[in-house]
């Protein structure tokens, strides 16, 4: 009986480990692996010949948003390593500077908003509308 109980406990532990291993975690922005894992998407976002309202840029932005955690992003060079300079819209609202990257396709959009202070990113948010 103890043998079956031990086997059951081991099977449950293995099942929990497999389930936890299947959970998808986001890479922190600024991680060196982002350039390797998402090279195609980053190249698409940086392509100056594509419009921000193209399906290609919208899909690339969605993949980046689903897989990258921007709460870890702290500097502008790391932000510029992912997004194209042509797509950036910067401004100031209530005394705070920001940079926006908005990608649209038909009635869908995804927006990356970075609040900045000097060369430091103090807040990042991603907003997706369907």
pLDDT tens-digit series, residues 24-81: 688 888 888 898 999 999 999 999 999 999 999 999 999 999 999 999 889 889 899 9
- Residue 63 near residue 44, CB atoms below 8 Å: no
pLDDT tens-digit series, residues 14-26: 444 444 444 568 8
Nearest by Cα to 87 from 69, 64, 107: 64
Verdict on whether the full-model pTM lies above 0.85: no
Q: How far apart are CA 95 and CA 66, in angstroms?
A: 30
Paired strand residues for 120: 75, 117
Phi and psi angles of residue 44, each rounded to the nearest 5 degrees, phi first:
-65, -45
- Residue 117 near residue 124, CB atoms below 8 Å: no
């Amino acid at each position: 009986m103890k043998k079956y109980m031990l086997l059951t406990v081991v099977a449950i532990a293995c099942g929990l480990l497999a389930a936890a291993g299947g959970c998808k975690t986001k890479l922190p922005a600024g991680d060196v692996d982002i350039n390797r894992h998402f090279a195609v998407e980053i190249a698409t976002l940086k392509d100056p010949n594509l419009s921000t309202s193209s399906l290609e840029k919208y899909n690339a932005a969605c993949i980046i948003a689903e897989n990258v955690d921007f709460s870890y992003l702290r500097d502008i060079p790391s932000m510029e390593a992912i997004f194209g300079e042509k797509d950036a819209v910067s401004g100031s609202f209530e005394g705070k500077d920001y940079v926006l990257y908005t990608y649209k396709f038909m009635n869908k959009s995804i927006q990356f908003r970075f609040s900045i202070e000097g060369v430091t990113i103090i807040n990042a948010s991603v907003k997706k509308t369907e």
